[in-house]
Amino acid sequence: MTNDTLLNKIRQANPLVHSITNQVVANDVANSLLAIGASPMMAIAPEEMEEVTGFAEAIVLNIGTLTTEILEAMLIVGRAANQRGIPVILDPVGGGATQYRQEAVSILLKEVTVQLITGNAGEMAYLAGVDWSSKGVDAGTGMTSGKMIAERVAHRYQTVAAVSGKEDFVSDGQTTVGILNGDPMLTQVTGTGCMLSGICGAFLAVDKYDTLESTVKACTAYGVAAEMARDNQDVKGPGSFRVSLMDALYNLSEKNIHDKKNVKRYNANNSKEEDNE
Amino acid sequence: MTNDTLLNKIRQANPLVHSITNQVVANDVANSLLAIGASPMMAIAPEEMEEVTGFAEAIVLNIGTLTTEILEAMLIVGRAANQRGIPVILDPVGGGATQYRQEAVSILLKEVTVQLITGNAGEMAYLAGVDWSSKGVDAGTGMTSGKMIAERVAHRYQTVAAVSGKEDFVSDGQTTVGILNGDPMLTQVTGTGCMLSGICGAFLAVDKYDTLESTVKACTAYGVAAEMARDNQDVKGPGSFRVSLMDALYNLSEKNIHDKKNVKRYNANNSKEEDNE
Amino acid sequence: MTNDTLLNKIRQANPLVHSITNQVVANDVANSLLAIGASPMMAIAPEEMEEVTGFAEAIVLNIGTLTTEILEAMLIVGRAANQRGIPVILDPVGGGATQYRQEAVSILLKEVTVQLITGNAGEMAYLAGVDWSSKGVDAGTGMTSGKMIAERVAHRYQTVAAVSGKEDFVSDGQTTVGILNGDPMLTQVTGTGCMLSGICGAFLAVDKYDTLESTVKACTAYGVAAEMARDNQDVKGPGSFRVSLMDALYNLSEKNIHDKKNVKRYNANNSKEEDNE
């Protein structure tokens, strides 16, 4: 992997990432985009969504606090981005939880071509059509649940899929990569998944032609930043971890990523191959 | 009081608390729920509100940035929660400030049975029908204003009422409990009252049958966490206090609460009885 | 300048500043208002906007995440504030970026008399009718771009204009003042401009008759607080800077401002005159 330099590209180009995200995490998403080196835009009015694609370099759609108006805005910006070749990332927060969200995700995936779908195992399992609540989708097969879910979502929607968890999995349906960086404290702060999908937007903005690799880089960078945040001795809980995470995203260097990355590639017969050179 | 273990119950059960809250504090409410051990859900679309009650274990309605659509969502989720026996908490932010809010609160209290109403003295005085702006409702009686307001709201709406202040008062109209834990810095951070109503949701989710006691436990836990946050030597003002409060909610133990709680029960003839065994 | 005491006035009077702001920064705007000593109100429903002017002492309109409903609310509260003589501040976030925003700003400025327009150079250049994207509006003239933009906006709209940047410029079209306080880290945190427009609201609330001076005081106080935040040795990046900024706004004293202020007045022939007595 020679494109560890994507982080530096973001910091040189400051790509504008337009996020329609949920109102719980909008501030953290914007600040994490700034910290990684991108320019956040967070407009939501349907009336300006088409025009936004005139200068946005990636679009992130997050359905956390979806409403009818927000869905309308997402469809407009998504279609316009497709026409202009701007990458679209979908974060189907709470995806399968209600029929309303199920239908919204279905419409979005029908009307908009997305380069990347990213979510936690439960959200992505819904898209994969597997029953995550049973927590037994892969019992007896030896496969990691998250891995299978990522592969199925990628295959089903002909896209790249990223499933966050203790090990993150990114798959394009052919190749699957596992990222072991990160920290459990990420689960104790709201919106850390939303921040990751935003950061994926920043990485895809500077390399939209290899979505799998851009997404792996994004997940690795974010996971390493989380480890740096955790290693800060002033961190006493989720409040200070969140502050420290923002600092770590800002201070993150290619060297930090190179030194700490813990990435595994899975080939067709499912054996692991380390990729930490 | 033997149910100090409610905190541990929350941490074991991770009850899902669904909050329709205001956009100013949504992030802090979600993070404080995570910190205390609950699972936050923050959906707002009327279309999914009925379904949400299929898995929510408490509903918190906060009118801080109310709109017509949000009120509609609150009525749907409130009525559905009533049918399923899920506790509903109302935080009437700015309750009496405008006619719009007065009417919204009136509709909510007419259409939805609420187990708990919680707010500051000004908001609750409006509901009690007393003139708080005069700051003299109890002059000459020796009674504490907040106490009288809590009792009146509880009596008037046949519910439990919690009035936050230097001393918090929780009343079911018969029994009133004062909680002296807390810190003045709570008044210097926006949304600390909204976080408390969210946390009351977490406590009621694990013990909905004794709302008075669950609410007293919630107020005590929150007040003790605020004291722990204040005692953090790194706290230099409201910014760092807010971070420290989130850490303290996360690190809070039953022992902390037992050691620091400062709770008084008022019997019918208004004499105090300490309850810090 | 003898009205350095505006800060103390705010802390004594706790003026209620009503902000219709964007959902990304609403929490930070409210907390920065509390930290400086004001009372934030953040209601957004059109139905209560007229009534809000019965107790608000300044109105801040920020179009960051504008929608049709929010614009309607802004027009109602703006007109009502004009009738009651309450100062109105406009922060045209992303002002020229889309036609939707251009039209919204145009309607707002036509329907509402604003005492102060405040934004960054790009946003204000749009209002000035100059091409900021060329970054060459003043090439060869020796004038500072931000200064010219502030003067043009002030002249064009018969108002006070504040352009934030490395040097902030405040102009009423006749007199222009440059404020050199501040810190580059302000550009790494979302909403720091929105916080400044909120704080301008607090200063105008306690002295609405000399908008130029009140705004200069607000910008100076904010810039000095940013310097104090940066000088905090615990600050490691934008996450901790933001926390420290909130603490600094809270701890800020007239003496801090007096000791650190770096303000220059420009007279008609554009020579500078220091104003740091």
> How far is the first Cα of chain B from the last one, in angstroms, to the nearest whole number?
8
* Residue C201 pLDDT grade (very low, low, confident, very high; cuts 50, 70, 90): very high
Rounded to whole angstroms, the maximal C-alpha distance in chain A is 51
- C250·B237 Cβ contact <8 A: yes
Closest CA to B266 of B178, B180, B143, B179: B178
Task: Name which of C69, C242, C250 is nearest B238 (Cβ-Cβ).
Answer: C250
* Mean pLDDT value across residues C58-82: 97
Chain C environment of B97 (Cβ under 8 Å): 41, 48, 51-52, 55
* Mean pLDDT value across residues C173-202: 97
β-pair partners for B162: B118, B170
pLDDT at A79 over 60: yes
Q: State the CATH number of the domain containing residue A145.
A: 3.40.1190.20
Range with the lowest mean pLDDT among B113-117, B130-134, C113-117, C125-129? Answer: B130-134
Residue A118, marked binder? yes
Mean pLDDT score of chain B: 92
Instruction: Give the span between the Cα atoms of A37 and C188, in whole angstroms.
Output: 9
* Residue B272 pLDDT grade (very low, low, confident, very high; cuts 50, 70, 90): low
pLDDT at C46 over 60: yes
CA distance to partner chain A, nearest, from residue B236 (Å): 14
CA distance to partner chain B, nearest, from residue A105 (Å): 14
Rounded to whole angstroms, the maximal C-alpha distance in chain B is 51
pLDDT of residue C141: 42
- A99·B48 Cβ contact <8 A: yes
The per-residue pLDDT for range A108-117, each reduced to its tens digit, is: 999 999 999 9
* Residue B274 pLDDT grade (very low, low, confident, very high; cuts 50, 70, 90): low
C-alpha torsion A48→A53→A59→A65, nearest 10: 10
Give per-residue burial for C48-83: e unless 16+ CB within 10 Å, then b: bbbbbbeebbbbbbbbbbbbebbbebbbbbbbbbbe
Chain A environment of C67 (Cβ under 8 Å): 44-45, 69
Task: Name which of B23, B66, B238 is nearest C247 (Cβ-Cβ).
Answer: B238
pLDDT of residue B268: 58
Task: Answer for the pair C62, C74: CB distance below 8 angstroms, yes or no.
Answer: no
Instruction: Give the span between the Cα atoms of B146 and B104, in whole angstroms.
Output: 23
In a domain, B276, yes or no: no
* Residue B271 pLDDT grade (very low, low, confident, very high; cuts 50, 70, 90): low
**Residue B130, both tokens:** 């007393």
pLDDT of residue C95: 87
* Mean pLDDT value across residues A42-55: 96
CA distance to partner chain B, nearest, from residue C136 (Å): 39
CA distance to partner chain C, nearest, from residue B179 (Å): 25
pLDDT at C74 over 70: yes
Q: Does B72 touch chain A (CB under 8 A)?
A: no
Which strand ranges, in their side-by-side order, compose the sheet holding A58-62?
Answer: A39-41, A16-20, A58-62, A88-91, A116-120, A160-164, A168-171, A176-179, A263-266, A272-274
* Mean pLDDT value across residues A134-150: 60
pLDDT of residue C131: 75
Residue C159, marked binder? no
β-pair partners for B141: none
The per-residue pLDDT for range B72-112, each reduced to its tens digit, is: 999 999 999 999 999 999 999 998 899 999 999 999 999 99
Q: Does B119 touch chain C (CB under 8 A)?
A: no
pLDDT at A144 over 80: no
Residue B124, marked binder? no
pLDDT of residue B236: 97
Chain C environment of A244 (Cβ under 8 Å): 236, 239-240
Alpha helical stretches, state H, B14-128: 26-36, 46-52, 68-84, 99-111, 121-128
DSSP string, C88-132: EEEE-TTTTTSHHHHHHHHHHHHHS--SEEEEEHHHHHHHHT--G
Task: Name which of C27, C34, C45 is nearest B66 (Cβ-Cβ).
Answer: C45
pLDDT of residue A194: 97
Instruction: Give the span between the Cα atoms of A160 and A174, in whole angstroms.
Output: 10
* Residue C117 pLDDT grade (very low, low, confident, very high; cuts 50, 70, 90): very high
Q: Does C253 touch chain B (CB under 8 A)?
A: no
Q: Is the dihedral of CA A16, A17, A22, A24 positive or negative?
A: negative
Task: Name which of C100, C239, C240 is nearest A45 (Cβ-Cβ).
Answer: C100
pLDDT of residue A133: 61
Instruction: Give the span between the Cα atoms of C248 and C23, in whole angstroms.
Output: 24
Output A135 or C34, whichever has higher pLDDT.
C34
Chain C environment of B27 (Cβ under 8 Å): 27
The per-residue pLDDT for range C206-224, each reduced to its tens digit, is: 998 999 999 999 999 999 9
Closest CA to B241 of B191, B179, B197: B191
CA distance to partner chain B, nearest, from residue C121 (Å): 27
Mean pLDDT score of chain C: 92
pLDDT at A131 over 90: no
* Mean pLDDT value across residues C92-111: 95
The per-residue pLDDT for range A253-274, each reduced to its tens digit, is: 999 999 999 999 997 555 566 6
A167, exposed or middle or buried, with CB in 10 Å at 0-12, 13-18, 19+? Answer: middle
pLDDT of residue B135: 44
Instruction: Give the span between the Cα atoms of C30 and C199, in whole angstroms.
Output: 10
Residue C191, marked binder? yes
CA distance to partner chain C, nearest, from residue A216 (Å): 25
pLDDT at C138 over 90: no
Instruction: Give the span between the Cα atoms of B79 and B63, in whole angstroms.
Output: 17
Task: Name which of B31, B42, B69 is nearest A189 (Cβ-Cβ).
Answer: B31
pLDDT at B136 over 80: no
β-pair partners for A272: A266
Range with the lowest mean pLDDT among B77-86, B252-261, C2-11? Answer: C2-11
Q: How many domains does chain C have?
A: 1
Among B28, B68, B98, B120, most C C-beta atoms within 10 A, so best to mutate, is B98
The per-residue pLDDT for range B24-72, each reduced to its tens digit, is: 999 999 999 999 999 999 999 999 999 999 999 999 999 999 999 999 9
pLDDT of residue C276: 59
What Rg do the C-alpha atoms of chain B give, in angstroms?
A: 17
The per-residue pLDDT for range B216-238, each reduced to its tens digit, is: 999 999 999 999 999 999 999 99
In a domain, B274, yes or no: no
pLDDT of residue C2: 47
Strand segments, DSSP code E, in chain C are 16-20, 39-41, 58-62, 88-91, 116-120, 160-164, 168-171, 176-179, 263-266, 272-274
**Enclosing domain of residue C269:** 3-274
DSSP string, C218-242: HHHHHHHHHHHHHH-TT--SHHHHH
* Residue B139 pLDDT grade (very low, low, confident, very high; cuts 50, 70, 90): very low
In a domain, B73, yes or no: yes
* Residue C270 pLDDT grade (very low, low, confident, very high; cuts 50, 70, 90): low
- Alpha carbon of B194 to those of B6, B24, B158, C197, C275: distances in Å? 20, 10, 22, 25, 44
The per-residue pLDDT for range A164-221, each reduced to its tens digit, is: 999 999 999 999 999 999 999 999 999 999 999 999 999 999 998 899 999 999 999 9
Share of residues in chain B with pLDDT > 70 (%) = 90
Task: Answer for the pair B233, B194: CB distance below 8 angstroms, yes or no.
Answer: no
pLDDT at B137 over 90: no
Among C70, C100, C133, C185, most A C-beta atoms within 10 A, so best to mutate, is C100
* Residue C96 pLDDT grade (very low, low, confident, very high; cuts 50, 70, 90): confident
- A41·C240 Cβ contact <8 A: no
pLDDT of residue C133: 61
Instruction: Give the span between the Cα atoms of A227 and A230, in whole angstroms.
Output: 5
3-state secondary structure (DSSP) of residue A130 = coil
The per-residue pLDDT for range C145-187, each reduced to its tens digit, is: 899 999 999 999 999 999 999 999 999 999 999 999 999 999 9
The per-residue pLDDT for range B200-215, each reduced to its tens digit, is: 999 999 998 999 999 9
pLDDT of residue B224: 98
Task: Name which of C35, C45, C242 is nearest B238 (Cβ-Cβ).
Answer: C35
Q: Does A23 touch chain B (CB under 8 A)?
A: yes
Share of residues in chain A with pLDDT > 70 (%) = 90
pLDDT of residue B2: 47
Q: Does A94 touch chain B (CB under 8 A)?
A: yes
pLDDT of residue C272: 60
